[in-house]
Structure 1
Amino acid sequence: MKFSPMEPKFAQSSLLESPYLARALLENSPDCIKKLIQSVLAASEGRYQAALDQAGLGISHVSLTGQYLLVSDSFCAMLGRDRASLLRLSYSEVIHPEDLPRSLEVFPKMVSGELQSFAAEKRLLHQNGSYFWVWNHVGRLWDPVAESHYFIVISENIDQRKRQETLLKAERRCLEKIAGDVPLPAVLADIALSLEVQMPPQSRISIMLRDREGLRLRMGAAPSLPAAYNQAADGLAIGPASGSCGTAAFRRENVLVSDIATSPLWEGYRELALSHGLRACWSVPILNARHELLGIFAVYSPQSGTPGVEVLDLLRRATHLAGIAIERRQAEETITRMAYYDALTGLPNRVLCQDRLEHALKRAQRQHGGLTLVFVDLDHFKLVNDSLGHAAGDQVLREISQRLQRSVREGDTVARLGGDEFLLLAEENLDASALTALIGRMRRLFEQPIEIESRSFLVTASFGVSRYPDDGEDAQTLMRRADVAMYQAKQRGRDGMQQYSPAMESNGIERLVLQRELRLALEREEFILHYQPQLDLASGKISSVEALLRWQHPERGMIPPLSFIPLLEESGLINQVGEWVLRKACAQARRWQLAGLPLRMAVNLSQRQCQEGNLIPMLERVLVDTGLAPELLELELTEGLVMHDPEKTIKALRVLKGMHISLAVDDFGTGYSSLSYLQRLPLDSLKVDKSFVQGLPASGEDAAIITAIIAMAHTLNIKVVAEGVETAAQLDFLRNKHCDGMQGYFLSRPLPAGELFNFVRRVPVLPE
């Protein structure tokens, strides 16, 4: 809005041209004329004041010195003041101090006439001490009576819109912090400070969090409350008469106390609150979607009273925002605990233990210090599970973990590595007496009976010790050697301690340690599958892949299959691991099929899997669960397995063939296959052992054997696949002899699933 100044000349001529004034000048005395003029002016001012009061906007006249000259009723109502008190004030007394410099910068330009008008957002002071936002339109006008300029200010209340904008900005800022790595206390403090400016004057906000046990409230953020009050309120009990916050947490509903001095809920905390100038407290529970308590959002006021509708709406929005922040932190903590802590005992797991050991080693190396590792394994723990059940076994493990924590010093780490294995990390190279004292404390705790299901029994443990730098300089070596020492303690009768020595590194001990670690490999998800492609020589296309088991040991690295597959057979774990391999491979084949790459998946079967009678039901479950078509599955059996019990094997293979599963004999030529039985087996292919391929084409004997196998198999309508092909000459020989397929390093090494997929996409057909 732009205002034009009224020129003095125009104002004077208008007054002189008034017919009432002209008649008075001609017919009356000077005193009458003066009274008439005063009457006219009073009437004019009254009409003008009435016009101002009827306007919905706040209108005021302000002198060049900033003094209020005239104010409308609407403007008085905006500021919560009467007209008389407002006319005694200057403009600078009702404007927010932060907004005053801008006005003082513009006013001289308005006074000089450089600016005729301007508009800006300002904050004005209400009678109750709060500030509110207005949109001010200021114009420069001429007063003909006073013969001077003045300002007319039209004020539009925009407080609600500005508060919404401020709140939205605060919410957006807080959400950005929640999404980032900003700690929860900082996020909650930001929420509290952002809301305090929206609340009644001098309001202070606290956000309290429910503790893990759900019995108390812990201070999350209260940036404006006195530190002494926050310290006293931290740990507030949740109960039916525990102040506003504790009661709101107990009821899970709003508790709005208008007067702390008289509220029975504040009986035990009244003196604390009043001593810090807190007279009212409005507490709102922070709940998640399942109506579970996360914390409490509270507003403290220095005046007694209850919140209005607008304040409650702000509280509702703020509690929702705080709930998002708290749940995000809880989710992160849950993920962290799942990743780094044992779910059963709450102790650090192998991953976190390894990380702490690595950091401890770096500190020890910098400071030329030492470390001591104690590997702890319970004796005969399997008997507990077998006799009392796994629930009782879990109870034993929890009890043992608590005892181990009580036996160590502050700063030492106790971790559960898996099963009944624990590890103690002490960040110094304990001498003989200190080590004896430590093991003695642990053994004394083990000597105390454990009560389970009204039964009392003892559990003993074997301890193995390794030290840095005496027994190794890296984490993997130290852990392995502590494990070896522990196993030596078991060999010597259990319930004892052994320190590592190089003499313990014998093949027998190493083999037993490896066998024991195999039992935990599935639980730790250390097994992985690689896939080696198989080429169809007639088409030049990759038609199949073979799933190959690998063991990615966290300390030893990738362990070759020949080092652990026989141990799986000996330990009886081959069935469990074999089913895992089959399920994993079929699921991967199904994913490739859905991605447009229908490759047949070949999986090796062990002799034990075939002999124990549950192979068929297990295969049916796997195919149903993974959704893989049986035609895309090939099972590979060794010659030894086929010939171990030919009659039983033939029956089983015919059932599998009836399921439309392809069948192959792996490593063909290394056993003692009988041609008569081979004729009766429902085989699809023979995989010639790589020992016959390596000498091709130079070795006449190998060439003759391969040629004979291909001819015999084709006579029986069985395909032949050559394994271990590594050269172009070998491939050319096999093509010339009409071999059906090949696999080996000449085509590709075994690859992880993602690399295999990219390889097949990149090399769809092998060139001649």
Structure 2
Amino acid sequence: MEPHSSPSLLWAPLLLSALLAGLSFGFLLHSLRKIRSRDKINTFGWGLAGTVTTACGLWSSQVAALTAMALPWELYFRTDALGLSATVCLVTSALVLASGRLALNPHGRMTLLAGEIGLLWSLCLWLGLRSLGTPPTGHGAWWLALVLPPMVVVAGALAAAWLALSPRWHQMGPANSRLWLGALLFGLTAGMAQDMALGAQHFVDTLGNVNGLLDVTTAQLAASAGCIVLLLGVFGVMVDNRAHGQNRMLANSLSEANRRLREQALTDPLTRLANRNLFEERLEELLTRLGDEPGSLAVLFIDLDGFKPVNDSFGHVAGDSVLREIGQRLKATARPTDLVARIGGDEFLVLAEMPGGTLGAGKLAQTALETVSKPYVLPNGVHVTLSCSVGIVMYPDHGPSQKLIANADAAMYAAKRAGGSTFAFFEPSMDHDAREQLQLQHDLRSALDRHELELYYQPKIDGYSSQITGVEALVRWHHPTRGLMMPGVFIPIAERFGLIGALGGWVLDEACRQLQIWQNQGLRMRVSVNLTPQQLQQDDLMDRIHRAVTRHKIDRRLLTLEITESVFMQNKDAALRVLTRLAQDGITLSLDDFGTEYSSYAVLSEMPVHQLKIDRHFVMKLGTSLKAEAIVDGIIHMAHALNLRVVAEGVETEEQRDTLVRLACDELQGYLFAKPMPADRLTLWAMGDDTVHGSPDFRPSLYDDGVALLTATS
């Protein structure tokens, strides 16, 4: 029995063998990844599929490799060796999957897989060689078939597993791509090792004493069945990857939807700043982390001054653009550790970590004031200027954590009461004020229904004829427990809590109703009504006035509407349009509190007013201050030059009256003549009723003309 020389090899079967080895390795890795799931059914199914498919693939790979040999005799296979080879493939595949699932870390799993796959492949190759014949000892480089190929396969398996499983290669792309790239690498090394093993072998040509031989065609058919199983497994992997990809897309979509929902839940949709929910969440986190360290954080409550006129006059688009820009400005000027939030309307919050004590918090508030006060350009090109009021609380000095925002709000309102465009630190008294304001606004909402409001009237006296020229309507509130309340107490509350519209509408209607009563009595009495900034910005103001005048059938020339300079200057264009329409409709317009704001010819020349009122601040100083007298004289001359009548309010002494008469002031109003009184008392007072004259609350008329005094001249 002479050995033949080394056989020549056919490349097509070898390439097929390498491909099958690579696919088997890829399916094995995929199965290993799937069986690490917590789902027991999924683990068992993929474990069984991985064992069978990998075994079939490896066994078919070996048969394909063996058929690559071109021998001088017809090729036969020993059935016992092939059967043992198939069994080893099956058992070893199961062991590889089981041990791979139990490995705790990726590096240990890679090493274990590489060693087991290398030994598995080497054993299968040896059994495959045994199925063809017995290599004679002492002939050829037989050790190449037994030592070097397994080493090559182990190295290839280690490299392939490292590429497919190691976290350091995640940046190369998706896990599936790396898995099949590793499978390709293993297939190439397996093909190389098979080529080395088969090329180094010598075979005897006698197998006569061996029972159960298979010819090459039968062996190839059996291997084809294994190939089909492997291809079905690979197809299953593709289907699973597709399903997994779709599930991942759905999961990503769900994650993105959850992210957007959370963003909507925690973000202001207009400014993209944090909303109140996120602000309170961050506040709790910060309090937990910092504890009760003094001065550890500050909360700034920022409320815009004069925003509503802009929003009402130019529309919500313009108002939204201003709010967005303010949000961007505040965020740009805030420190990286600060959180800026919009909690609704024109209110913003700033959470400042370690602000640097009250001095640092004050600097942050001053920065916010300066930032907000810069001019804004609306979408229509109009320039507007706003200001803000800022309330500051320091933790833990200014209250417990759950009251920080409420206390900051109270401090902000204190700053607004001080005139706005400033900041104020929280004080304990503000907490009481805040609770009182909440109670008052609750009571004020039902005051109209309970008929607790009443108009008082303060007369205006003509400076030349000493006749009554008209009255100013002033609202009073007969609170059930607090008694008579002045407008200086509840008007700011009505403005803050959105009640001023209903209150102003009631005052206008009630004044017109009283005008009708006096008109039916034959008394031609002019009545002045103050318009608030919010009323002037109401779109239906003209309709409200028209309905009140029409319903009570009064002469609209007897109705005077008073506005302040500040209301006009907040939004000149919008205010000018409304005032012009009112003047064209026959309503008399009066500029109130003149001298405290801009007080210039430019302002007066733009406003379609008929009279102006000198602020009581200057009137009170007449007789004691030459500067005040000079200012009043200048105002009167300026008004007369513009063909305006002048009213001086706050006249309390005869010296003030005499000075105003000497300076040619047209009308006088003040406690020297009478305090504000109900309509019925005003009529009796003007007629010289002794009962009213004897009242300690009112001074009698200085004039004696009785009812004739009510025939006022314009």
Answer 1 or 2: higher relative contact order, Cα 8 Å, separation at least 6.
2
Band the TM-score falls in, shorter-chain normalisation: 0.3 to 0.5
Asked which structure has the greater CA Rg, the reply is 2
TM-score by length of 1: 0.34
More helix by share: 2
**Structure richer in strand, relative to its length:** 1
TM-score (norm 2): 0.37
